[in-house]
Structures are given as structure tokens and as C-alpha cells.
């Protein structure tokens, strides 16, 4: 996070990484702020994969709150480990 801020890295993927990091760290207030900022100023993400994943996260958040989002991110992490570390 510090690197992205220090180097002023911008764009949809960077915002997505920041958002996920804050959610995983449990800084949900800042994650909410990023989410609101992203939706109001940029509209939907231009990168298709980021847009799809953001949609999935927002749907889970709507149904199950932040706990559901944390569970989704854990599943995604486990899937990544299974896929690339076997």
C-alpha cells in the first residue's frame, strides 16, 4: 500500500488491490470509502476482470455483509493456492 501511494500508481487494478487489501486487513471503513469513491467518480471498472470481481464482491456484501466478503476472499485465496501451488 505504501509503495502504491508513494509511487502514485493509479488505475482500476491499483484501486482494486487497495480495496482488497483494506478488506483483508479489516479496515472496512476505508474499504467503504474507496468503494464509494470508485463508484461515484469512475463508474464501473474498465478492466473486465476487475469489474466482474467487483460485481461479485458487491453482491456478496449486499447479501451477507463484510463477513461474507471476507469468506469470499478466503475462498478466492484458497483457489489461487490450489491452482498455482500444486
Overall number of domains in the chain: 1
- Give CA–CA dist 16/62, Å, rounded: 18
Q: Residue range 22-29: average pLDDT?
A: 94
**Residues of the chain above pLDDT 90, percent:** 53
Whether this model's pTM surpasses 0.85: no
Whether pLDDT at 41 is above 90 = no
Whether pLDDT at 42 is above 70 = no
Helices and strands (H, E) in the chain, number of each type: 4, 0
Domain interval for residue 53: 2-84
> 9: left (phi > 0), else alpha (psi -120 to 50), else beta?
beta
- Give CA–CA dist 5/28, Å, rounded: 19
Question: Could you give the angle at the alpha carbon of 69 between the alpha carbons of 30 and 11, nearest 5°?
Answer: 50
Amino acid at each position: 500500500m505504501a509503495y502504491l501511494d508513494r509511487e502514485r500508481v493509479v488505475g482500476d487494478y491499483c484501486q482494486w488491490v487497495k480495496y482488497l487489501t483494506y478488506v483483508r486487513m479489516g479496515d472496512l471503513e476505508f474499504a467503504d470509502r474507496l468503494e464509494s469513491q470508485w463508484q461515484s467518480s469512475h463508474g464501473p471498472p474498465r478492466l473486465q476482470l476487475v469489474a466482474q470481481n467487483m460485481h461479485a464482491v458487491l453482491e456478496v456484501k449486499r447479501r451477507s455483509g463484510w463477513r461474507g466478503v471476507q469468506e469470499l476472499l478466503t475462498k478466492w485465496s484458497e483457489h489461487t493456492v490450489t491452482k498455482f501451488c500444486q
